């Protein structure tokens, strides 16, 4: 792709984003072309077909969601605050684009392996990021490697299922959902001791703040 084509491609993806946000995953190429002020052949020239366009759109959103979660995991917060911040980052991401989230997670009829499964690779990467963060920050004893892997995948699956239900049903505000999920995760995380921070380049080590208590507060916050 040339440097001249890249801005045009981004404009077309922006148009597709707007149409999907209004009409959902079933948005047509005709509607997207009209939104962009072009003809369908131009869309095909840039993306090949509808599948190619929607694949590019899902890659844009999954990479953005992964980057946001990775940033949240690395924030220098106390442990409980970090848990809540990561949960809120994910829920805010799917809440801000509910129709795009459906595109990422719910395959269209007759296309069970299509773009509707596009979130799966990003979820695997999120699980790996959580595993990395737990391994680096929490002392889980001799079973640390096993528990870190299990927690990374378990937390990701739990949040995916709970977030899907919450986005569809809207039983409570996002902040309340964050608290409910954080409370569920908090018991063993609160009890585990923090690991010393890895030395930074130059020999200095500045550990992130951690909660000093070995048990969660009575109010769950």
Q: Which of 29, 113, 126 is nearest to 87 (CA)?
A: 126
SS (H, E, C) the chain: CCCCHHHHHHHHHHHHHHHHHHHCCCCCHHHHHHHHCCCHHHHHHHHCCHHHHHHHHHHHHHHHHHHHHHHHHCCCCCHHHHHHHHHHHHHHHHHHCHHHHHHHHCCCCCCCCCHHHCHHHHHHHHHHHHHHHHHHHEECHHHHHHHHHHHHHHHHHHHHHHHHHHHHHCCCCHHHHHHHHHHHHHHHHHHCEECCCCCCCCCCCCCCCCCCCCCCCCCCC
- Highest mean pLDDT: which range of 31-40, 105-114, 202-211: 31-40
pLDDT at 183: 93
pLDDT at 213: 34
Domains of the chain: 1-48 (1.10.10), 54-191 (1.10.357.10)
pLDDT band (50, 70, 90) for residue 221: very low
pLDDT at 167: 93
The overall average pLDDT reported for the chain is 83
Q: Please check the confidence at residue 207 and state whether its pLDDT lies above 70.
A: no
pTM value? Answer: 0.76
108-138 per-position pLDDT tens digit: 665 544 555 677 888 899 999 999 999 988 8
161-205 per-position pLDDT tens digit: 999 999 999 999 999 999 999 999 888 777 777 877 655 455 444
């Amino acid at each position: 792709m040339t440097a001249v084509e890249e801005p045009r491609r981004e404009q077309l993806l922006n148009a597709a984003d707007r149409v999907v946000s209004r009409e959902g995953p079933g948005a047509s190429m005709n509607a997207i072309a009209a939104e962009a002020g072009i003809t369908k052949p131009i869309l095909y020239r840039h993306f090949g077909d509808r599948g190619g366009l929607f694949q590019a759109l899902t890659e844009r959103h999954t990479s953005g969601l992964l980057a946001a979660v990775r940033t949240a995991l690395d924030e220098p917060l106390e442990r409980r605050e970090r848990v809540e911040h990561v949960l809120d980052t994910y829920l805010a991401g799917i809440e801000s684009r509910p129709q795009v989230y459906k595109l990422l997670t719910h395959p269209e009829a007759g296309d069970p392996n299509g773009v509707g499964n596009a979130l799966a690779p990003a979820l695997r990467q999120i699980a790996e990021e959580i595993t990395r963060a737990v391994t680096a920050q929490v002392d889980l004893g001799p079973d640390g490697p096993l528990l870190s892997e299990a927690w990374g995948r378990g937390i990701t699956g739990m949040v995916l299922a709970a977030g899907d239900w919450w986005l569809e049903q809207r039983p409570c505000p996002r902040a309340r959902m964050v608290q409910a999920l954080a409370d569920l995760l908090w018991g063993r995380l609160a009890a585990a001791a923090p690991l010393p921070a890895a030395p930074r380049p130059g020999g200095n080590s500045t550990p992130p703040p951690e909660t000093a208590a070995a048990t969660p507060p009575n109010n769950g916050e």
